[in-house]
Amino acid sequence: MPTRSSSSSSDSGGDQSPELRSPLLSNANKPAGEPESEKLCIDDMLQKYCGEFGPYQMKHFVLTSLAWALEAFHTMVMIFADREPTWQCLDGASGSGCDARARTVCGLEPGSWEWIGGLGSSTVAEWGLVCEEKYKVGLAQALFFGGCMIGAGIFGHLSDSFLGRKGSLTVVCIVNTIFGCLTAFSPNYWTYVLFRLLTGFSTGGVGLCAFVLATEPVGPTKRGAAGMSTFYFFSIGIAILSCVAYVFPQWRELYIVSSIPSLLFLIVVLPFVSESPRWYLIRGRISEAMKLMRVIANSNKNYLPEGVVLTLDEEASNDNSTTITNEDDQTYKELLESKEAISGSLIDVMKSPVTRIRLFLAVAINFLCSVVYYGLSLNVVNLETNLYINVLLNAVAEMPAFTITAILLDKYGRKPLAIGTLWFSGVFCFLGSLVGNVGVWKVVRMVCGILGIFGMAGTYNLLFIYTTELFPTVVRNAALGCATQAAQMGAILAPFVVVLGGGLPFAVFAMCGVVGGMFAFYLPETLNKPLYDTMTGMEDGEGAFRSV
């Protein structure tokens, strides 16, 4: 990214404290050897002065990424709360039509059997969501993902506009805490569905706000690995939830226990998390952005010279040689302090020929990926083994995919890796559709499913960092929210694919993986490219890259 240097000899007021000075100071009071005044984009400033991933970014990244565990709690709690418990015939009920060898309770005489663990063990047991009422379990789960879809779009826009990344994350955690706890007191099924819908609305904004907030202060060469690492927190959250669910088997208790961490995150973690300097920059709050960049530099044991000032990428690329004269110095300082906020929306994304096709492809690939990921994950409940161990092992099994993808991300690039992981999953899903579900072939199909979700877990996480890099700061969360909405649509569709039974689900998953890989061919590579701030900056920058 080109930089702009300038000089000035006017007095800036030596009595003023450094914290209150304008980011652009005159050169008259600079010590010997102090560099000339520079206008730098955030990526350039991180690389040249502040550090790309030092102690500051590490602490900020870990604290912010803890929110992913909260999303795992609120999303995956349904596996345990809405499970169908085991049942048993009542003593002395053998002559009343209860057959312990029956696979379901459908057709058994009422009063001849009971749920093991009691009516409070799950929503299915308490409200009788079996047999002809079984569809209500899928309906509740689908409406939760529907709420996630709506929330992702709304909070994606709010975090790009006046609310900011940290402000949006604060709001969603407050709403999650409230409705997560209220769910535990649902008097009937329909109230329960309403609270799950509202919880999904806030949950849809947790991951995308946390992801963008965690990765925006990271330098360009470290951003890919950092972005991929956020998803360890989601898998760790699932693993912790499986242990918590084992300790608290009653569904009402589980909802309260799984919602309390959101409150703890608000009180204990968020006060130590800073807003994104990129958001400050596009909102015209230059002094706050510069103050934060100095904090980053100091925390990383680096030095940010007084004469260096942040600027938007479009300004740096439009003029990299202008000198600021004595007469212009004060005017320029006032311009920086009064700079208007820059806003954007999905309408701007659709208007730009650079980002329009990117949005379509990102939405399509996220949708297809989600169908496969959630579809394969739902097969866990069909494995007639210990549910808690299955969920724990499934979460642990995803972690190697994150590691391998993170290692290869900066070596081979985003585009080849996206194509490779999508097709890897598609191939094994296709093989799973060809084999039967009897004898040794059950094991073969199970292995195909494991390898399919292994590849898709890598894709699912890669798409977050890829989508983040495809769009500028001014519309980044809005675009990511749109892609996340598409993923939630895929999550809603996944259960309906699973009920097809036999080899058909695997065939659908294979098709989604292969088609998704074909779509990825049309995306541009973003490896080692700057993280643009504005639409104009991206259009100018992409034009410069194409001309090289």
Q: Which of 23-37, 255-269, 463-477 has the lowest mean pLDDT?
A: 23-37
- Going from N- to C-terminal start, the domains of the chain cover 39-47+278-338, 343-534
3-state secondary structure of 427: helix
126 is written with which tokens? 């308490």
Mean pLDDT of 532-547: 66
Give the pLDDT confidence of 131-164 residue by residue, as tens digits: 888 888 878 888 898 888 888 878 878 887 888 8
Q: Which three-class secondary structure string do you get for 462-494?
A: HHHHHHHHHCCHHHHHHHHHHHHHHHHHHHHHH
Give the pLDDT confidence of 469-496 residue by residue, as tens digits: 888 877 777 787 788 788 888 988 887 7
CA distance 135 to 132: 7
Is residue 21 pLDDT above 60, yes or no? no
Is residue 322 pLDDT above 50, yes or no? no
Q: 394 or 405: whose pLDDT is higher?
A: 405
CATH superfamily of 343-534: MFS general substrate transporter like domains (1.20.1250.20)
How large a percentage of the chain has pLDDT more than 90?
Answer: 30
Residue 159, C-beta contacts closer than 8 angstroms, at least 6 positions apart: 165, 167, 168, 169, 205, 208, 209, 212, 279, 477
Contact assessment for residue 184 and residue 277, using Cβ atoms and an 8 Å cutoff: no
Confidence of residue 91 (pLDDT cuts 50, 70, 90): low
What is the distance, to the nearest Å, from the Cα of residue 47 to the centroid of all Cα atoms in its chain?
25
The dihedral sign for the CA sequence 359, 364, 369, 374: positive
DSSP secondary structure of 184-246: TT-SSHHHHHHHHHHHHHHHHHHHHHHHHHHHTTS-TTTHHHHHHHHHHHHHHHHHHHHHHHH
Average pLDDT in the chain: 80
* 168, amino acid identity: S
Report which of 101, 93, 188, 171 is spatially closest to residue 136, judged by C-alpha positions. 188
Give the pLDDT confidence of 418-430 residue by residue, as tens digits: 999 999 999 999 9
